[in-house]
Chains A and B, each alone.
Chain A
Amino acid sequence: MSIIDKDPAEAIDLIKAGFETAGYICDRHIATSIYLSQKLDKPILVEGPPGVGKTELAKAASELLGAPMIRLQCYEGLDESKALYEWKYGKQLLYTQILKEKLGDLLEDAVGLDQSMDKLHQFGDSFYSEKFLEARPLLQALKSDVKTVLLIDEIDKSDHEFEAYLLEILSDYQISVPEIGTIKAKTKPLVFLTSNNTREMSDALKRRCLHLYIPFPDAELERRIIKTRVPELDENLRNQIVSFVQQLRTQDLKKLPAVSETIDWARTLLLLHAEKLDADMVRNTLNMLLKFEEDIENTNSDVPKLVAIAHKETR
């Protein structure tokens, strides 16, 4: 954690630079939140439109910190047995079988039921012990010896109950298993929660997190992202692509193209050996950017105009 101990401004610049070498281009805002979360030991709740690199951020952080990533994908109906822990039923069953066989040997010299019970009580109660505990992602992250990055993806897809399970982990980095007790984190993981805001998170959850909103990048940032992600692309074409997409985002569309779509589109154009944007090519590949038939139809007629502006802007 040497980076983190430096002077704030310096540390943040280092984080930013570190992300850049990991191929994740970000602004200072994002780097600040990584810094803060390390300093304050707080999880980060990342929100933003789909495709702006929320999950990527966690991956990049994992790479930067050299910490393995543990990912938990949320969905409706996700419960503690899939996210936190589960008992190893099969093993427990075997254990009882073994116990049954060994029971005779163990209770050999006991006389009467009472004595047998007393004897039995002398053995540890290992049926519900950590040996039989199957660690799911959240518990894995807590039990890990090295620092981990825990990504709880699309938390908004999960149920309210699940949010409540999370609270203990998020604030104290521990979970309580009723049969065993409290398990505390050996090393505090860096926790990311991502949300597309399909539903509002509860205040309790939000209070425990730093809140990072990642908007669509501006032209400058997007150019740099494309440059890193699709380095083979000619600079001129790159600028045109970015300018075109930026314009598209100002249109009235059902789903605006995000960075991931820009990257896909850039790759497509590269494959097609495009040298500059022209209206026909854009029309043919528009489905890389826009994911609704309606959007594509509405945009089709504007393509020449948008392309012309893109050319003009990048000249």
Chain B
Amino acid sequence: MDKPLAEFIEMLRYADIPVSIGESLDAAETVQLIGYDDRGLLKAALSQVMAKTVEEHDSFNRCFDEFFSYNIELDFKERNDETDEGADSIEDQSAPPEPANENEDGSSSENENGAGDGLESVEPSGDPTAPLLEMLEQNDRTALALAMTQAAGDVNLGGIVLMTQRGLFTRRIMEQMGLDQVNQEIAAREEQGDDDGAVDLAGRLETLFDAVRDMVERQLALTSSGKGKQFRQDVLKKVRLSNIEHRDFKHMREIVRRMAKRLTDMNSRIRKVKNRGHLDIRKTMRRNIAYDGIMFETHWKQKHKDRPKVLAVCDVSGSVASVARFLLLFLYSLNEVLPKVRSFAFSGTLGEVTDLFDRLGAEEAVPLAIDQFGGRSTDYGRAMEDFKDLIFDEIDNRTTVIFLGDGRSNGADPRVDILKEIKSRAKRVIWLNPERKSIWGSGDSEMLRIAPYCTTAETCNSLNKLELIIRDLLKSN
């Protein structure tokens, strides 16, 4: 596989597109088939080989544009106008994609002829200056671009992570390409009184500097944004929900959504157990009457595992304000991936938000739900009553009821009798409390009274914890 493609694949991986080895082999084959010439075609083809969801297609397109624009930055256009290569530059301006191809061709597939000279001339690192000087003098863009890529590889530009490393890497690449001796040449020309020549060369060098800086900048954007994102996501999973800032909401949503989806996928996979367990004699006999009673077709007693029916109630009052957003967000995601979730929110009175969630995106639905039901002081008793009125009949032995709340009822009776009734009807009742267990029961917290009437009552203050609990919930059937 050629190097640009390998780099591109690495970039895709950073951009959350999990390209497998098999897929990269396919990609290599695709590149071989199609080549780098027709950029549009290559993009269409590679995207189908490597991006496997709609979101991945989006990031792929972004990455592709970024990546394949980066090799063509080196542009001596201004000077080309003055030199005899003017024709070339007119073509540049009139048909932007064309020169891109021409240049790309040389710099990407390293076995191209034109590029080959450039490569060789840089390679003997004993005296790299003359070639660089030559390249600059001759406006050999293809060779220069190639030398840049080469030098970048030599100084391991891919390892750049921090903003502060930019200057360092730019310098290193330039030195690798033979900066010193070009500088000497400029100095020499000045000494000899060839001012025009010196200025001209210095100008060219400056252009090259810009191009290299650009390349470094891009590489930084490519790798560090990917790494940074991964890092941030890892942190977000562990941090306390109440400490997460508003600006991370979007990332959070993505994590939560993925988590919820994984959970449902896992769950639906074990939903049906077929051709296992006990032989159903009655059905087998009936089926085989046609065959003279000889049992060709067997019929097994099947267990149909139902999709979990979930009723989720979320406290959005002031005391849990800092985490309510994320609890609701989780509810929202659960709504997206599980078919039978009904969600409720309350602080004083309780109301259903399922419809709201169905209609709107998370960014709108969550604040709206807080707006509609939040802000008042918590009254668990009232909420329990409302919940009973609203939905009690629908609770059956397959229903899981999840409460998300801190159990602080402002002194009002939390009506654990209703909770008890719910528990006796439902399959299980789960209480997730963002507070840690040691302060349950302190102040107006009713958790100690509530907990006995729940199948499980757990502290849940980070996403990782949330995932663990929900996973247990889905598994323990």
Q: Which residues of A contact B (CB under 8 A)?
A: 8-9, 12, 28-29, 32-33, 35-36, 39-40, 42, 44-45, 47, 79, 89-90, 92-93, 96, 159-161, 197, 199-200, 203, 206-213
Which residues of A have CB within 8 Å of B274?
A: 79, 161
Given A40-B29, A200-B261, A213-B57, A12 contacting B41 (CB threshold 8 A): yes
List 4 A-B pairs, minimum CB-CB distance, nearest first: A206-B52, A210-B48, A89-B296, A211-B52
Given A79-B274, A160-B269, A32 contacting B48 (CB threshold 8 A): yes
Secondary structure call for the B interface:
helix
Report the bound CA distance from A199 to B337 in whole Å: 8
Q: Report which residue of B35, B38, B48, B268 has the largest number of chain A beta carbons within 10 angstroms of its beta carbon.
A: B48
Shortest distance from the beta carbon of A4 to any chain B beta carbon, whole Å: 10
A9 near B52 (CB under 8 angstroms)? no
How would residues 258 to 275 of chain B score, 1 for a CB under 8 Å from any chain A CB and 0 otherwise? 000100010011011010
Report the bound CA distance from A204 to B49 in whole Å: 14
A8 near B54 (CB under 8 angstroms)? no
Tell me whether B18 is interfacial, beta carbon within 8 Å.
yes
Which residues of A have CB within 8 Å of B29?
A: 39-40
A89 near B268 (CB under 8 angstroms)? no
A92 near B48 (CB under 8 angstroms)? no
Residue of B nearest to A198 (CB): B339
Residue of B nearest to A48 (CB): B54
Given A93-B296, A160-B269, A211 contacting B53 (CB threshold 8 A): yes
A32 near B296 (CB under 8 angstroms)? no
Contact of B41 among A9, A39, A93, A210 (CB under 8 A): A9
Tell me whether B33 is interfacial, beta carbon within 8 Å.
yes
- From 259 to 304 in chain B, residues with beta carbon under 8 angstroms from any chain A beta carbon are 261, 265, 268-269, 271-272, 274, 291-292, 294, 296-297
Which residues of B have CB within 8 Å of A200?
A: 53, 261, 265
Residue of B nearest to A211 (CB): B52
Contact of A203 among B18, B51, B271 (CB under 8 A): B18
A8 near B41 (CB under 8 angstroms)? yes
Given A28-B40, A207-B23, A212 contacting B297 (CB threshold 8 A): no
Which residues of B have CB within 8 Å of A96?
A: 294
12 pairs of residues in contact across A and B, judged by CB atoms under 8 Å: A8-B35, A12-B41, A28-B41, A33-B45, A40-B49, A42-B26, A47-B54, A92-B296, A160-B268, A160-B269, A203-B18, A211-B51
Contact of A159 among B51, B261, B272 (CB under 8 A): B272
Which residues of B have CB within 8 Å of A36?
A: 30, 33, 45, 48-49
Which residues of B have CB within 8 Å of A35?
A: 45
A93 near B294 (CB under 8 angstroms)? yes
Secondary structure call for the A interface:
helix
- From 48 to 82 in chain B, residues with beta carbon under 8 angstroms from any chain A beta carbon are 48-49, 51-54, 57
A29 near B292 (CB under 8 angstroms)? no
Tell me whether B34 is interfacial, beta carbon within 8 Å.
yes
Which residues of A have CB within 8 Å of B44?
A: 28-29, 32-33
A8 near B51 (CB under 8 angstroms)? no
Tell me whether B20 is interfacial, beta carbon within 8 Å.
yes
Report the bound CA distance from A23 to B265 in whole Å: 39
Report the bound CA distance from A200 to B55 in whole Å: 12
A40 near B269 (CB under 8 angstroms)? no
A207 near B45 (CB under 8 angstroms)? no
B26 near A9 (CB under 8 angstroms)? no
Report the bound CA distance from A40 to B35 in whole Å: 15
Shortest distance from the beta carbon of A298 to any chain B beta carbon, whole Å: 12
B26 near A90 (CB under 8 angstroms)? no
Report the bound CA distance from A160 to B38 in whole Å: 39
Q: Report which residue of A36, A45, A209 has the largest number of chain B beta carbons within 10 angstroms of its beta carbon.
A: A36
Given A28-B40, A40-B29, A212-B48, A90 contacting B20 (CB threshold 8 A): no
Residue of A nearest to B34 (CB): A8
Tell me whether B124 is interfacial, beta carbon within 8 Å.
no
Told that A29-B44, A207-B23 touch, could you supply 4 new A-B pairs with CB distance under 8 A?
A8-B38, A39-B33, A200-B265, A211-B53
Residue of B nearest to A12 (CB): B41
Tell me whether B22 is interfacial, beta carbon within 8 Å.
yes
Report the bound CA distance from A208 to B274 in whole Å: 26
Which residues of A have CB within 8 Å of B294?
A: 93, 96
A207 near B54 (CB under 8 angstroms)? no
Given A40-B29, A161-B274, A200-B261, A93 contacting B20 (CB threshold 8 A): no
Report the bound CA distance from A208 to B51 in whole Å: 12
Report the bound CA distance from A206 to B26 in whole Å: 13
Which residues of B have CB within 8 Å of A203?
A: 18, 52
Which residues of B have CB within 8 Å of A28?
A: 40-41, 44
A211 near B48 (CB under 8 angstroms)? yes
Q: Report which residue of B44, B272, B274 has the largest number of chain A beta carbons within 10 angstroms of its beta carbon.
A: B44
- From 12 to 30 in chain B, residues with beta carbon under 8 angstroms from any chain A beta carbon are 18, 20, 22-23, 26, 29-30
Q: Report which residue of B33, B261, B271 has the largest number of chain A beta carbons within 10 angstroms of its beta carbon.
A: B33
Shortest distance from the beta carbon of B416 to any chain A beta carbon, whole Å: 39
Contact of A89 among B26, B49, B269, B297 (CB under 8 A): B297
Report the bound CA distance from A161 to B270 in whole Å: 10
How would residues 111 to 154 of chain B score, 1 for a CB under 8 Å from any chain A CB and 0 otherwise? 00000000000000000000000000000000000000000000
Which residues of B have CB within 8 Å of A32?
A: 41, 44-45, 48
Which residues of B have CB within 8 Å of A208?
A: 22
Which residues of B have CB within 8 Å of A197?
A: 54
Residue of B nearest to A215 (CB): B54
B291 near A90 (CB under 8 angstroms)? yes
Which residues of A have CB within 8 Å of B30?
A: 36, 40
A93 near B292 (CB under 8 angstroms)? yes
Report the bound CA distance from A290 to B13 in whole Å: 40
Report the bound CA distance from A8 to B269 in whole Å: 41
Shortest distance from the beta carbon of A54 to any chain B beta carbon, whole Å: 14
Report the bound CA distance from A35 to B44 in whole Å: 11
Q: Report which residue of B271, B292, B296 has the largest number of chain A beta carbons within 10 angstroms of its beta carbon.
A: B296
Which residues of B have CB within 8 Å of A211?
A: 48, 51-53, 57
Shortest distance from the beta carbon of B225 to any chain A beta carbon, whole Å: 24
Residue of B nearest to A79 (CB): B274
Report the bound CA distance from A161 to B291 in whole Å: 30
Shortest distance from the beta carbon of A187 to any chain B beta carbon, whole Å: 21
Report the bound CA distance from A290 to B271 in whole Å: 35
